[in-house]
Structure 1
Amino acid sequence: MANPLYDGLFGRHAGKTTPFLHLLDGSTITHQDFLSRAAQIANVMLQHNLKPGDRVAAQIEKSPEALAVYAACAQAGLVFLPLNTGYTIDELAYFIENSGASLIVCEGCNQAALAPLAGRLGAKIETLNADGSGSLNAKMQKMPILFPTVVRSENDLAALLYTSGTTGRSKGAMLTQKNLLSNALALVEAWQFTADDILLHALPIFHTHGLFVATNVSLISGGSLIFLPKFDLDAIVKYMPKATSLMGVPTFYARFLDDPRFTAASTAHMRLFISGSAPLLAEIHSRFEARTGHRILERYGMTETNMNTSNPYEGDRRAGSVGLPLPGVEVRICDADGHALPQGEIGEVEVRGANVFQGYWQMAEKTAAELRETGFFITGDLGRIDEDGYLYIVGRNKDLIISGGYNIYPKEIELVLDDQPDVLESAVIGVPHPDFGETVLGVIVAKPGQSPDLDTMMDAIRSALARFKHPRKLVLLDELPRNTMGKVQKNVLRGQYKDMFALT
């Protein structure tokens, strides 16, 4: 193929009037209509003199046009950088500067705030609002609906996604055309998607789950999406009888179970419910099956690798397990030195395959530390593999918090808390939550003789950090637990507060 990703996902639908996006206003965008929009956007990018390999940073609300920006980047050979819509301007500055983005696509309300940064970096700005309006839309309307697809190879970069860790700055995971396309093909096979599938899409598209899993799978199979702007329980209940499948985070399923409208009858038309991005509680797994008769299929992936394992479509979907390796993916359990451990033992999860990223953007040392010369990626997760080959994730060897599918740096929140005048030190941990898998808890030690105002501290966090990073609660302790070397024992704190948000 001249451009494997574009041809494999989008170009295959050229000229087709088959439905692609079903919108809430009752309208439908066909595959060809969508390709025309993408081509028009690619033509706008060409006018900005963008060349293959340039980065396009996009912080925009979910819309058909927002999705078309992704397709336009693929067609023009540009590297797509989707950014969480919850990021503040200060947070955006790092991603845009670090990536060296040549074009920034943002909401109109953020244009003025981003203009100085764009000017300093020599980047262009286009606006795109949730309703499709903005400068990008105005320009694309004047553009041809055809664009000559740029020749790219499977090893060329297609996307740059920033992933969180527990210390330091976010890392830009470099994903190639092969990484994305191979994984989508494996998922279509594993989950048996066809052109008859109608996927109820309520996930954000700045995240791997909603973009490279849900959307790419639908594109390759030729199916369509009921394209919801966001998670909306009323809309999901309304449209579920028209759908065949849904991909969600554990929060979705917890919300479903709290709604009496969600019954076996309302899900009778569905063939598949998939959960990922955060651990699914066994209790939700069993309650969901008892309520609907459907057994949720849980899978396991991450930004650097897309999807690695999945419970089987046909076979035993085991609660608490993330299933078996996908076709073309190797999974092993190792000690800290990379030596494979015997079956059943707990160790570090490592994966290898065409899905594994090429490394971290401009972080050679970090890449070398986490991506072995043999091609195995050290995921940072701890797990075990049972006698049937099923993988169980038992924890993380880092303190990364995953809440509602979003990765959260504890250190980033701790820096804000530690900066407050009456705070001596803090520790931020993830604790179990019935809706979000995990949620953020801030533990604070006051300076001697001081009484920190917790409400004031929450106000400081709200002004500094995106909403999904906000602690659900702050608690005061006299001192933080430490080991003999003086290191804070976050595992002790997690054990102490593990039931704070448990269902009663």
Structure 2
Amino acid sequence: MQASYVHGAHSLPLIGDTVGVHLDRIAERYPDRDALVIPHQCVRWSWRQLRERADRLAAGLLGVGLDPGDRIGIWSQNRAEWVLTQFATAKAGLVMVNINPAYRRAELEYALAKVGCRALILAPGFKSSDYLGMLRDLVPELDGAAPGELRSAKLPELRHVIRLGHESTPGMLDFDTVAQCATPADMARLHDVARTLQFDDPVNIQFTSGTTGAPKGATLTHHNILNNGFFIGEAMRLTERDRLCIPVPLYHCFGMVLGNLACMTHGAAMVYPGEGFDAGAVLATVQAERCTALHGVPTMFIALLDHPEFASFDLGSLRTGIMAGSPCPMEVMQRVIRQMHMDEITIAYGMTETSPVSFQTSVDDPLACRVGTVGRIHPHLEVKIVDADGRVVPRGDTGELLTRGYSVMLGYWGDDERTREAIDAAGWMHTGDLATLDADGYCRIVGRAKDMVIRGGENIYPREVEEFLYRHPKVLDVQCVGVPDPKYGEELCACIVLRPGEHADADEIRAFCQGQIAHYKIPRYIRFVDGFPMTVTGKIQKFMLRKEAADELGLHT
């Protein structure tokens, strides 16, 4: 019997650098090649220029009073300042905390407080979100504070707020000024700090929710994300001649690791087509910049293919890229290969806690493997599939996927109990995903043990939304499930039991959510029910609830 265990033995060693040191190496190797191209910001920086700007920003951050180990949040759409912050914080020994651009006030407060952010870099706003307004509502002391001397009742650790844009706001530093004010002494300190940093130091915190409630801060090291980015790029066969179009959000591992770090470790160009996803802008940017690679979730590729002017764009430069976030329909993959020239597109699978990628298809895998599987194990990692008793199952049998190796996070920030629940004594990360391994080592994800809903590449954790809806005074009980959707793959459905004598409608429930939780977490469907299907032991049968909801709504795959 062949066991469901694989390890990624590989001839290429792991990289023993910090992110900052490796950026320096790449800038020395490819000084004049394009590093960052953002047409809407008129940015076209070489690797030498990007390193110089990152160094000045890193020194400036130390100069305003931040110290290695301090947490600094970034709440912004895809912009040059985001990638500068990513590399500058790594060089300064700071821990960058990714804040989802869709977050609202309550989520922002939780994230900043949970990890004790000392500083926050934010854009003025994005789409319908007024970031400045939300922060000033949360921290009214800002208006009367001198920059760098904030004292907030709700966020006692927060001292510095740094804003993007050309205008100024009371109590806040201007982003450009931070770098411009870096002194020779600040630069000298930066060089001293660089000599003390270790690749196992934390460099990034990303919030990921769980079925037990509030979001958790997955804490990742230089070693975690630098090596994952490198081997992701290797799977795509990236070189310094490649130009990767990155329309996926940078706050997520997809943008900052599969995008930015895959490029940085290979000297390839990072190309941002816009602040958020826009199909027309992506197509125009690929054509204008002769991009050779493109990332996206399946819904993005569908939007590109269905764009009314798709046929007018020359996409002949494309070769590879990554489709991830949710399963890819065979028809979509065939169209991407045939109509977008992406013969070498790959599929990747992972989770934030594993930096993120554990499995990836190769550029020459058969089409069936690039649709029906998530590929084979990444280099230097181990995976086993286990049953409910923790025993490794035979190849082909379904069980929970566990990952071990360099990519596993340090833990959840400030939450030892949840860390121990996720990472066992032998170092295995329990993913909660149900999977199989075939005889050739290809992995299939067949279910989600924790009922996570994936809406167009965004992970929605029902318990988090349920706990928020419990705050509504009319809600007695609530269960959220995913139901089929032709565009997003899944949509969230909230099944609500109202308190006796109360009446409510769907609009009232949605209005309660507006501005408090991210838009993609607001349930598309709301059912009012008398109760939930239960086992004889009183456990809610979510699979039955999903079926009932889909039947009632007429939604079927």
**TM-score (normalizing by structure 1):** 0.93
Give per-residue Cα distances to partners, 1:137-159, cap 9 Å, x unaligned: 22322335954262311211111
Q: Partner of 2:478 in structure 1?
A: 426
Answer yes or no: is 1:354 the counterpart of 2:390.
no
Instruction: Tell whether the 8 Å contact from 1:111 to 1:127 is kept in structure 2 after alignment.
Output: no
The letter of the residue matching 2:409 is F
Quick one: which of 341, 350, 353 aligns to 1:304?
A: 353
Answer yes or no: is 1:377 the counterpart of 2:429.
yes
Residues 1:267 and 1:16: Cα distance change in structure 2 (over 3 Å) = same
2: CA distance between counterparts of 1:270 and 1:131? 36
- Comparing 460-469 with 213-222, greater Cα deviation is found at 460-469
Answer yes or no: is 1:476 the counterpart of 2:528.
yes
SS in 1 for 2:286: helix
Instruction: Tell whether the 8 Å contact from 2:235 to 2:361 is kept in structure 1 after alignment.
Output: no
Residues 1:267 and 1:153: Cα distance change in structure 2 (over 3 Å) = same
- Comparing 104-113 with 36-45, greater Cα deviation is found at 104-113
2: CA distance between counterparts of 1:234 and 1:170? 34
Q: Cα offset for 1:195?
A: 0.5
Answer yes or no: is 1:272 the counterpart of 2:320.
yes
SS in 2 for 1:194: coil
Residues 1:328 and 1:118: Cα distance change in structure 2 (over 3 Å) = farther
Q: Cα offset for 1:390?
A: 0.7
2: CA distance between counterparts of 1:349 and 1:221? 30
The letter of the residue matching 2:452 is L
Answer yes or no: is 1:8 the counterpart of 2:22.
yes
Residues 1:294 and 1:29: Cα distance change in structure 2 (over 3 Å) = closer
Quick one: which of 277, 282, 301 aligns to 1:231?
A: 277
Answer yes or no: is 1:340 the counterpart of 2:373.
no
2: CA distance between counterparts of 1:12 and 1:278? 32
Q: Cα offset for 1:10?
A: 4.6
Give per-residue Cα distances to partners, 1:257-281, cap 9 Å, x unaligned: 3224335973322101311122323
Q: Partner of 1:150 in structure 2?
A: 194
- Comparing 332-341 with 274-283, greater Cα deviation is found at 274-283
Q: Cα offset for 1:400?
A: 2.1
Instruction: Tell whether the 8 Å contact from 1:322 to 1:393 is kept in structure 2 after alignment.
Output: yes
Give per-residue Cα distances to partners, 1:268-315, cap 9 Å, x unaligned: 221013111223234433444454464542110110101100111122
- Comparing 307-316 with 419-428, greater Cα deviation is found at 419-428
Give per-residue Cα distances to partners, 1:142-185, cap 9 Å, x unaligned: 33595426231121111111211012221111211111122122
SS in 2 for 1:119: coil
Quick one: which of 110, 118, 121 aligns to 1:102?
A: 118
Q: Cα offset for 1:408?
A: 2.1
Instruction: Tell whether the 8 Å contact from 1:254 to 1:434 is kept in structure 2 after alignment.
Output: no
1: CA distance between counterparts of 2:229 and 2:385? 25
Residues 80-479 of structure 1 aligned to structure 2 (within 5 Å): 80-108=96-124, 109=132, 110-115=134-139, 116=141, 119-120=152-153, 121-129=156-164, 135-143=174-182, 147-148=190-191, 150-151=194-195, 152-228=197-273, 229-241=275-287, 242-263=290-311, 266-289=314-337, 291-292=339-340, 294=342, 296-305=345-354, 306-317=356-367, 318=369, 319-448=371-500, 450-479=502-531
Give per-residue Cα distances to partners, 1:215-243, cap 9 Å, x unaligned: 00111110112212221111111122311
2: CA distance between counterparts of 1:114 and 1:32? 39
Residues 1:249 and 1:144: Cα distance change in structure 2 (over 3 Å) = farther
SS in 2 for 1:93: helix
Residues 1:462 and 1:425: Cα distance change in structure 2 (over 3 Å) = same
Q: Partner of 1:33 in structure 2?
A: 49
Q: Cα offset for 1:92?
A: 1.4
Q: Cα offset for 1:431?
A: 2.3
Q: Cα offset for 1:103?
A: 1.4
Give per-residue Cα distances to partners, 1:184-214, cap 9 Å, x unaligned: 2211221100001111111111111100111
Residues 1:248 and 1:144: Cα distance change in structure 2 (over 3 Å) = farther
Give per-residue Cα distances to partners, 1:345-365, cap 9 Å, x unaligned: 000001112111122212222
The letter of the residue matching 1:150 is A
1: CA distance between counterparts of 2:312 and 2:429? 41
Q: Partner of 1:21 in structure 2?
A: 36
Q: Partner of 2:4 in structure 1?
A: none
1: CA distance between counterparts of 2:152 and 2:308? 53
Residues 1:27 and 1:155: Cα distance change in structure 2 (over 3 Å) = closer
2: CA distance between counterparts of 1:264 and 1:298? 27
- Comparing 106-115 with 354-363, greater Cα deviation is found at 106-115
Q: Cα offset for 1:420?
A: 3.2
1: CA distance between counterparts of 2:486 and 2:24? 38
1: CA distance between counterparts of 2:338 and 2:17? 46
Residues 1:269 and 1:84: Cα distance change in structure 2 (over 3 Å) = same
Q: Cα offset for 1:126?
A: 2.6
1: CA distance between counterparts of 2:340 and 2:305? 10
SS in 1 for 2:248: coil
Give structure 2 stretches of 5+ with no counterpart.
1-14, 125-131, 142-149
Answer yes or no: is 1:43 the counterpart of 2:59.
yes
Identity of aligned residues (%): 31
The letter of the residue matching 1:338 is G
Residues 1:111 and 1:416: Cα distance change in structure 2 (over 3 Å) = closer
The alignment yields a C-alpha RMSD, in angstroms, of 2.6
Instruction: Tell whether the 8 Å contact from 1:9 to 1:216 is kept in structure 2 after alignment.
Output: no
1: CA distance between counterparts of 2:484 and 2:167? 38
1: CA distance between counterparts of 2:383 and 2:541? 30
Q: Cα offset for 1:3?
A: 5.5
Give structure 1 stretches of 5+ with no counterpart.
none
SS in 1 for 2:254: helix
- Comparing 389-398 with 317-326, greater Cα deviation is found at 317-326
**TM-score (normalizing by structure 2):** 0.84
1: CA distance between counterparts of 2:484 and 2:183? 51
Answer yes or no: is 1:60 the counterpart of 2:76.
yes
Instruction: Tell whether the 8 Å contact from 1:55 to 1:79 is kept in structure 2 after alignment.
Output: yes
- Comparing 12-21 with 334-343, greater Cα deviation is found at 12-21
Instruction: Tell whether the 8 Å contact from 1:218 to 1:224 is kept in structure 2 after alignment.
Output: yes
- Comparing 322-331 with 421-430, greater Cα deviation is found at 421-430
2: CA distance between counterparts of 1:340 and 1:76? 43
1: CA distance between counterparts of 2:476 and 2:352? 35
Residues 1:142 and 1:264: Cα distance change in structure 2 (over 3 Å) = same
The letter of the residue matching 2:511 is D
The letter of the residue matching 1:127 is I
